[in-house]
Structure 1
């Protein structure tokens, strides 16, 4: 007869059980608790007034949130349940069970303070001699907004629907004035039907106002770009004494376009194209990662679907962190970031830009991979000089760091940590949540890189 180890669930423990005995010493939950205990949380603590019932300590709530984001638990209700079901969450919460309202309110309340905590963790990584900022790889990824793209209204559709709803309102008002309402279908409540249409008309009027404001900002931006192109073209014609060929720049058109959209759930999100085709309601989440450690050193969120305008904000963030992290030597990015303005901005910041000018061929010839480009002319522009460097063996090897650094970071955040959609709404809030996501990634990564 087989011998089995009997599972006895009824015998009580002789001594009270200890949560400390139920987790491995190298468990991620232990590491997160140890790191958070070393952070300066004074900016969070001083915001508690001390009145009313006792609140959960910020270190406890922060630990639950960070471990949740690191392991794919983002909902405040699921986090509350995890403090009962998961040994790791019980350990972090010290056998307490903060309710979902407390967790959700803490996450919303302290989004602004997360950037300081994010930097403190990076400073700790540097003190551990894990992080040494040198080569930084920058990229962006489309992250779904907490809103469906089917909740979006275009300017053209709003104008079409307004005509229909106004006609229906007039018809309902005419029916309401009739003494005999025999033609009215059974179960129709005229005041309720009128209110529903008036509410929709008011919402659409607000949406049109938002679209008009965006169109005005776009026109001012495009007008400035147009004026710059015209001035540059005129300067070239004056310098050469010849009229330039090709079509002159086309001036932008003011006003809203029929395709301009606004989302009624999260109006600050945007419809964005995604890889592989299609569109989704999203934000453009940016991250700059250290090539040696894959730690994210700077974050940002944009409403623009392309990355052209994201270099200067990232340079400003890196400059603000110089005293803590040190000087960045090289910024590596794909062709989505390439522009003469961005190259000059990197050089002005004392950072060597290595930004792809165009997409590389997937299968270049073997001679091309083992040869050096022709010598660079003396009068080469900054863009030409950078393009020449990218064609050298050293430049190609240096640029290859991008693919093995930032792309795995996004892949792990989306596929392993499971973060593909923001829980909060509005640009400011999703920016804070993205910082929280990258903080969780950094702690997850530091737990692997820490000296044993």
Structure 2
């Protein structure tokens, strides 16, 4: 039996204003989000409702509410509920309905498995609107704080020391319990309670040590594969007569390290270095941003603080995009992603890599900035070819676009919209939330791209100049003639010229 939904009524006339449609300007972001979400196929989500109990809210309305909230910096379910009372835009989206925070939170969890498909569908809609066509993308990662405190973590060394201490205290408590003389027991102490507390903590420590040990084994296998790959690359170079640069790779050591730790609140999060110094409990959010439009075309989440192993997952996400969006021809990343294996992975996927081999030096000399590279052999390896292209004028110009694409997108998402910390816990839930944030950013960006552009031959500065003159003209009229209803043209222009306002045509327009 299909559920009977409570549908938002946005067309019933009111005394003031006459209709919900009159609440917002025609080009408002809320209208745009409502229109785009209405084009998404939410049938599977609607069919998931059992049809029992009270009528549920329309999934399209709830999704629009959440996405618009992320696009405007309101993500908490309680703040979203309050916004349906306080904000005209949120009232418009809900049709003057007020779903409570528990309903919003439950829907966000229910919808989490479908976010990725709708994220891709929004990109298809952007393509159908003529806003984007894949070409070059810029890949980078940013650390976003987990919904957990770094002080709620337990390291391997601390766990081992605490385990010994608790075991000694348990033995001491059993000795006290065996003594016949109760006078030796301190006042207020309950031996059964103290034993229970310590035994529970010991159980927690055992679980923590198991998880740390499992992670250490996984890390060892990954490091071992990387070590073997580096050794093979060095041997390959030596066979060709080339001298491998750098020190020989060091074989990884098995077993947990003293500082390996598990967070007791969100065990899938990791301690990661923060950009301003220090460390934080976080996830590493990755995004591929289209160079031409600043739309996020692929995103994924990782628990690894280093970006070096994130090229292949990013390529896998790009491969999931529909063919109608076009073909990714180039990937631009910083030096944190560089390895010969990553260059080969891009080449194998038919993508031209532009990965910095090292950090760029600041304040380069004129000779360094304009020096052209020496020609290379036609049969040069992929890394040599990429290095050569990075040194060309065209390569430098293309690589420079990374700084004004993916980095500003992260800056706006974190600093302007305020998404510096995830609301949910666990890798899958955080991945879903990152997809939702990325989709909200894309809708916000699509709204900006879809706005009418200045007329041909009219610059933005020219348009602003006209606007400022009209605004000043109105201010003059408003202040000088607010009480004058009978004004002739001559008096009007006398006031205009007395204020020194130029009504000449702006230069270049």
TM beyond 0.5 = yes
Cα pair distance change 1:235/1:110, threshold 3 Å: same
1:310 — aligned with what? 310
2:336 — aligned with what? 336
The whole-number CA distance in structure 1 between the counterparts of 2:349 and 2:243 is 36
C-alpha contact (below 8 Å) 2:17/2:23 kept by paired residues: no
Q: CA deviation at 1:331?
A: 0.6
Structure 1 window deviating more from structure 2 (122-131 vs 244-253): it is 244-253
2:204 — aligned with what? 203
- Is 1:267 the equivalent of 2:267? yes
Cα pair distance change 1:139/1:120, threshold 3 Å: same
1:410 — aligned with what? 410
1:373 — aligned with what? 373
C-alpha contact (below 8 Å) 1:328/1:351 kept by paired residues: yes
Instruction: State the secondary structure of the residue aligned to 1:409.
Output: helix
1:80 — aligned with what? 81
For residues 186-225 of structure 1, the aligned pairs below 5 Å read: 186-225=187-226
Structure 1 window deviating more from structure 2 (292-301 vs 242-251): it is 242-251
1:62 — aligned with what? 63
1:255 — aligned with what? 255
The whole-number CA distance in structure 2 between the counterparts of 1:76 and 1:34 is 22
Instruction: State the secondary structure of the residue aligned to 2:57.
Output: coil
C-alpha contact (below 8 Å) 1:19/1:87 kept by paired residues: no
2:352 — aligned with what? 352
Q: CA deviation at 1:68?
A: 1.2
The whole-number CA distance in structure 2 between the counterparts of 1:56 and 1:189 is 53
Structure 1 gaps of 5+ residues are 1-12
Instruction: State the secondary structure of the residue aligned to 1:377.
Output: coil
Q: How many equivalent pairs are there? A: 439
The whole-number CA distance in structure 2 between the counterparts of 1:371 and 1:316 is 36
2:50 — aligned with what? 49
Render the CA deviation track for 1:226-248: whole Å, top value 9, x for unaligned: 333444445555665x9989865
Structure 1 window deviating more from structure 2 (215-224 vs 327-336): it is 215-224
Q: CA deviation at 1:19?
A: 3.1
- Is 1:435 the equivalent of 2:443? no
2:38 — aligned with what? 37
2:98 — aligned with what? 97
- Ranked by relative contact order (alpha carbons within 8 Å, sequence separation 6 or more), the top structure is 1
The whole-number CA distance in structure 2 between the counterparts of 1:162 and 1:194 is 14
TM-score normalised by structure 2 residue count: 0.82
1:146 — aligned with what? 147
- Is 1:162 the equivalent of 2:157? no
Render the CA deviation track for 1:271-305: whole Å, top value 9, x for unaligned: 11122321111110000011111000000001111
Instruction: State the secondary structure of the residue aligned to 1:112.
Output: helix
What is the Cα-based RMSD across aligned positions, in Å? Answer: 2.1
C-alpha contact (below 8 Å) 1:43/1:113 kept by paired residues: no
Q: CA deviation at 1:110?
A: 1.7
The whole-number CA distance in structure 1 between the counterparts of 2:396 and 2:243 is 39
Render the CA deviation track for 1:295-335: whole Å, top value 9, x for unaligned: 00000001111111111111111112142411011111111
C-alpha contact (below 8 Å) 1:219/1:254 kept by paired residues: yes
Render the CA deviation track for 1:377-436: whole Å, top value 9, x for unaligned: 344321111111111111111111111000000000001110000111111110000000
Cα pair distance change 1:237/1:438, threshold 3 Å: closer
Instruction: State the secondary structure of the residue aligned to 2:141.
Output: strand
TM-score normalised by structure 1 residue count: 0.92
2:29 — aligned with what? 28
Cα pair distance change 1:93/1:186, threshold 3 Å: farther
C-alpha contact (below 8 Å) 2:285/2:434 kept by paired residues: yes
C-alpha contact (below 8 Å) 1:301/1:430 kept by paired residues: yes
The whole-number CA distance in structure 2 between the counterparts of 1:33 and 1:187 is 63
Cα pair distance change 1:355/1:322, threshold 3 Å: farther
Q: CA deviation at 1:184?
A: 4.2
Structure 1 window deviating more from structure 2 (248-257 vs 229-238): it is 229-238
The whole-number CA distance in structure 1 between the counterparts of 2:222 and 2:351 is 27
Instruction: State the secondary structure of the residue aligned to 1:308.
Output: coil
Cα pair distance change 1:61/1:184, threshold 3 Å: farther
The whole-number CA distance in structure 1 between the counterparts of 2:211 and 2:312 is 27
1:361 — aligned with what? 361
Instruction: State the secondary structure of the residue aligned to 2:328.
Output: coil
C-alpha contact (below 8 Å) 2:134/2:325 kept by paired residues: yes
2:299 — aligned with what? 299
Instruction: State the secondary structure of the residue aligned to 1:102.
Output: helix
Q: CA deviation at 1:159?
A: 0.2
Cα pair distance change 1:97/1:379, threshold 3 Å: same
